[in-house]
Amino acid sequence: MMVSPVRFLFNNDLITLSDIDPNLTLLQYLRDVQLATGTKEGCASGDCGACTVVVVDISETSSTELTYTSINACITFVTSLHGKQLITIEHLKEAEKLHQIQQSFVNNHGSQCGFCTPGFVMSCFALHKNNAEPRREDVVENLSGNLCRCTGYRAIIDGALETTKNLDDVFRRNHTQTLDKLKGLKEGPSVRFETGDKKYFAPKSIAELAVELLANPDSTLMAGATDLALNVTQNFTSFKKTIYLGDVKELTKITESLDQIIIGSAVPYSQFQAILEKEYPDFKELIERLGAKQVRNKGTLGGNIGNASPIGDMPPALIVLGAKMILQRGSETRTVKVEEYFISYKKTVLREAEFIKEIIIPKAKSGHQLKLYKISKRFDDDISAVLAAIYIRLEDDQVTAIRLAFGGMAATPKRASHSEQVLLNKAFTEQNIVLAQQQLVNDFQPLSDVRASVDYRMRVAQNLLMKCYFELTDNELNTRVTHYA
Ligand SMILES: Cc1cc2nc3c(=O)[nH]c(=O)nc-3n(C[C@H](O)[C@H](O)[C@H](O)COP(=O)(O)OP(=O)(O)OC[C@H]3O[C@@H](n4cnc5c(N)ncnc54)[C@H](O)[C@@H]3O)c2cc1C
Ligand code: FES
Ligand code: FES
């Protein structure tokens, strides 16, 4: 087997790795191998942000731009850094001078015990590198995945806002040099190595991926690893054969045409969020509440569907919109509706050696409105107890088209067909909504778990139908709803 190592920049140092366990997390690598202990471990599950580091890469849209992305080192495998630059808290200070962001935290008393501080500073660093003039809401959105138990968030937010525009730092001065180095690192064959009984492969093309998967159908497909890494950090298991999807060119593309948006299965949320929310404004809040910035910078649509969780946030919305997927096995492809992908709990129609290539989302249909409601215990960075997706067309107060789908109400994300029938081709009245609410018990038998009880889930799902009715019929509330021309 030809070995092609993982190569990345640790600040400005070239790191070459091929004799490592592919299950080694970036946090373990930093603290145990590099002895760079500024990056902290709080939860090891992507929830607290203490381990936040920044990854620099060449922009997908401009080959002369660099993107600065905050990620959780605890749920990132070090192998996925190939072709990128890694910046940790140790790299911000220049000689004896603090970086402007660090100084702003000091000026605003933005740190007490300091355990969370490196993570907050790195999240703010990424924000300022991508956004010269962040507003308060940008800061809040970017910090929703960083938890602090002692300082209080006001001082931290003040610190984040104080940093001056157009940061002039060493990273800016080294821009061209870094860009050239990253281009060099990306050249060469796809990363491949074996250590002991573990194999790792990061194909660059879909053809390579398809061939490898046919030869090794027992491989684990890994995209952002925001779900998979928990098997390693929480369940202490490991993957023997890993195929990483993040370098596959065809899977990391977004294409837009007049009537559809095609999202490659390995595109992270933060890259497709804007295009989706422009078409369907309700995706804005849904995606902003899906994990936190660090999770959305890595997590993908293919991973959300591929994970087949009954509480994944995206499938109910994709189901009501009639989204489809292209699945590929070898050189053969087939089209499957998202609605038909899920068979039973965590079981899907995906065949051995098959993978999700892309997701095709139709653009808004004339006269239709999409409403998405996520109910979770915490507003930010929390998994849904119930998720409702409603796609409806109203003409002269009649329901002339309707699709309802729910997450968290059954073993799979699923349509509420009995309730739909009660509403279709009827007057859009409170009375008919009550009838549709009653039909939800024939559509779903939800489970009780740590997030919610059976009764709570059913009551909430029913109430969300009524909430939608009030929002669409009350003129004042209705101003918040987007109508498609
Ligand atoms: C702190 C935290 C908060 C989270 N909050 C939310 C939330 O609010 N809502 C929510 O829905 N999810 C949430 N998640 C779960 C997760 O982030 C999402 O499901 C994400 O979309 C997974 O994508 P990924 O690329 O990281 O998947 P991975 O972890 O890489 O993969 C997940 C599964 O999908 C399979 N897979 C990946 N790509 C493909 C493909 N192309 N073809 C076939 N199979 C594939 C993998 O083999 C694996 O079984 C959260 C996770 C964390 C850690
Ligand atoms: S240690 Fe908590 S998010 Fe990584
Ligand atoms: S300063 Fe102590 S946890 Fe934030």
Q: How many CB atoms lie within 10 A of CB 473?
A: 15
Is residue 484 predicted with pLDDT exceeding 60? Answer: no
Is residue 482 predicted with pLDDT exceeding 60? Answer: no
Q: What is the pLDDT of residue 485?
A: 42
As a whole number, the mean pLDDT across the chain is 95
260: β partners: 362
What is the C-alpha to C-alpha distance for residues 251 and 218, in angstroms, rounded to an integer?
20
Sorted by sequence, the CB contacts under 8 Å of residue 478 that are 6+ apart come out as 471, 472
Q: Within 6 Å (CB) of ligand 3, which residues are found?
A: 111-117, 148-151
Helix axes 117-130, 100-107, angle to 10 degrees: 120
Span 364-372, mean pLDDT?
95
Q: Which two tokens stand for residue 368?
A: 């239709």
Q: How far apart are the first and last CA of the chain?
A: 57
Span 207-219, mean pLDDT?
98
Looking at per-residue confidence, does 356 or 60 come out higher?
356
Q: What is the pLDDT of residue 306?
A: 97
Specify the ligand 2 atom closest to the Cα of 75.
4
Q: What is the pLDDT of residue 166?
A: 67
356 ligand 2 Cβ < 6 A = no
Sorted by sequence, the CB contacts under 8 Å of residue 149 that are 6+ apart come out as 116
CA distance readout (Å), 56 to 13, 15, 179, 353, 434: 14, 15, 9, 32, 52
Q: Which two tokens stand for residue 244?
A: 């990483």
17: β partners: 6
Task: Report residue 287's pLDDT band, with 50, 70 and 90 as the boundaries.
Answer: very high
What is the C-alpha to C-alpha distance for residues 141 and 381, in angstroms, rounded to an integer?
10
What is the C-alpha to C-alpha distance for residues 299 and 130, in angstroms, rounded to an integer?
19
Is residue 396 predicted with pLDDT exceeding 70? Answer: yes
Task: Report residue 386's pLDDT band, with 50, 70 and 90 as the boundaries.
Answer: very high
Q: What is the pLDDT of residue 478?
A: 55
425 Cα to the center of ligand 1, angstroms: 37
pLDDT over 70, % of the chain: 97
42 ligand 2 Cβ < 6 A = yes
Q: How many CB atoms lie within 10 A of CB 121?
A: 26
195 Cα to the center of ligand 3, angstroms: 39
Ligand nearest to the CA of 318: 1
Is residue 354 predicted with pLDDT exceeding 90? Answer: yes
231 Cα to the center of ligand 3, angstroms: 28
**DSSP of 314-370, one letter per residue?**
HHHHHHHTT-EEEEEETTEEEEEEHHHHEEETTEESPPTTEEEEEEEEEPPPTTEEE
83 Cα to the center of ligand 3, angstroms: 33
**Amino acid identity at 260:** Q
Specify the ligand 3 atom closest to the Cα of 113.
2
**DSSP of 154-197, one letter per residue?**
HHHHHHHHHSPSS---HHHHTHHHHHHHHHHHH-SSPEEEEETT
What is the C-alpha to C-alpha distance for residues 145 and 137, in angstroms, rounded to an integer?
14
Ligand nearest to the CA of 110: 3
Which structural domains are found in the chain, ordered by start? 6-185 (3.10.20.30), 189-248 (3.30.43.10), 253-478 (3.30.390.50)
Q: Is 204 exposed, middle or buried (0-12, 13-18, 19+ CB in 10 A)?
A: middle
Is residue 52 predicted with pLDDT exceeding 80? Answer: yes
DSSP state of 425: T
Ligand 2: residue of 29, 40, 47, 71 to mutate (most ligand atoms within 8 A of CB) is: 47
- Among 299, 305, 310, smallest CA distance to 223 is for 299
* Residues 220-246: tens digit of each pLDDT: 999 999 999 999 999 999 999 999 999
147 Cα to the center of ligand 2, angstroms: 10
Ligand nearest to the CA of 374: 1
* Residues 65-94: tens digit of each pLDDT: 999 999 999 999 999 999 999 999 999 999
